[in-house]
Amino acid sequence: MTIETLTPGFMSVVSVGDSARDFSSVHRVLQRLLTKMPAIYDCLNTGDILDILRSARDRATDVDFVMPTASGPHLLKVRPVYGPTGAVHAVRLWLGPADVPIPELRPAVGGIWDLDAQTVAQPSGITRLCGVAAEEYVPRMSLAELFQRIPMFDRHAELLDLLYDPRAGDRFQHDVVVVFASARPALWRVTICARDEDGQRGAWLLFEQIRSDNLPPVCPTLERVGLREAHRRAGTYLAIVQLAHTSITHWLTDPAPWVRWDYLFRPVDVFHPEDRGRLIELAHGPRTGDTTRITVRVLNYAGEYTPTSMLLYPYPGFSNRELSIAQFVRVADSVASLDLTRNELASNRQPQIGYDEQLRHSLACRIK
């Protein structure tokens, strides 16, 4: 079983085998488990196991404990799951007879959403999860990149409310099919708990691989394909933009091909520094239901900025009013260099503003 430790001083069960447990009480789940293995009571009770789990969390250490019982030796194994800072985001428990084969642990890692930085930090261990190539690994990614890799996800409103307004007790769990450019799809379980302490606002995450075989193909609906193609032919592209933080949160259509929105060190760099203040000023505009048009400069794949018209209007159903739908249209009189495609990345741009090598690898995989 997997026990999340995403909130200080608190633990809950989020997975037992392949099944989600939706933040179940650790004490109750352990009690049910021990009723199936009464021999364990010869050595340990529920409180003892809870103490072992807390110790593994606090000390960030593995536990291997052999228990002699009337039914023969039993084994208790605990393995921490680490996040990008080395902190423990979960502990995984296996308990059973010592002569029973122990199933191989599926990969799992922790992540951290930093609201101020607008990034999800992830450890290099995430490459052990099916779907993530080592060549594409970056220590931080934007929300737009995360959503781009889970195209069938449909609980954006709930998740964005948690991430952009983190409050103690807010939590989220969902199984998602993850699609990367260079690997087959995989089923991940994503568990998130809001954090707001020590001046840092955001959330801690847990990524668990559930399956990587026999998954149905990820096929967009005819409506989705048709609408994306219509926007592409019209030269318009839609995204959710977080105005107060000046970042693209999610593309509703194909990403605008002239916008360098991915593999950036700082997602806010997609907008010119002088235009970010104007977007922040508009953060309150969509609350009234008004539509606002603004021309801004957006980063392109040559490291320059392309004048782009943005039509902003509210996204119905989102309680976080700083989120707006933005329609991107490239201004017709853009300079010639703005016609560069993703494959023509400037190789000598200084200073470097993103993970260019990983971007090149990702683009090469998309072309194949």
pLDDT tens digits for range 8-37? 999 999 999 889 998 999 999 999 999 988
User: Which is higher by pLDDT, 152 or 347?
Assistant: 152
- Looking at the fold, whether 294 and 358 belong to one and the same domain comes out as yes
**Domain holding 306: CATH number?**
3.30.450.20
Q: What is the pLDDT of residue 223?
A: 77
Q: Are 126 and 204 found together in one domain?
A: yes
Domain of 96 in residue numbering reads as 2-105
The model's pTM: 0.90
What distance lies between CA 289 and its chain's CA centroid?
A: 30
Residues 45, 92, single domain; the answer is: yes
- Average confidence score pLDDT of the chain: 87
Residue 160 to residue 175: CA distance in whole angstroms:
16
Q: Are residue 117 and residue 101 in the same domain, yes or no?
A: no
Could you tell me the strand order of the sheet in which 88-97 lies? Answer: 19-24, 12-16, 2-4, 88-97, 74-82, 63-67
pLDDT level of residue 141 (50, 70, 90 thresholds): very high
Give the mean model confidence (pLDDT) for residues 193-216.
86
| pLDDT tens per residue, range 209-245 | 997 676 666 677 777 778 888 888 888 999 999 999 9
Looking at 105, 139, 154, the residue that finishes a domain is 105
Q: Are residues 10 and 43 in the same domain?
A: yes
Residue after which a domain boundary falls, among 174, 204, 219: 219
- Residue among 185, 353, 339 nearest 268 (CA): 353
Whether 171 and 231 map to the same domain: the answer is no
> Average pLDDT for residues 336-348, to the nearest whole number?
46
Same domain, 6 and 95: yes
290 and 337 within one domain:
yes
Let me know whether 89 and 125 are in one domain: no
Where does a domain end: 81, 105, 129? Answer: 105
298: β partners:
271, 306
pLDDT at site 212: 66
The answer on 359 and 314 residing in a single domain is: yes
Do 173 and 273 belong to one domain? no
Count structural domains, the chain: 3
List Cα–Cα distances, 97 to 69, 71, 291, 322, in angstroms.
Answer: 10, 8, 65, 54
The answer to whether residues 161 and 185 belong to one domain is yes
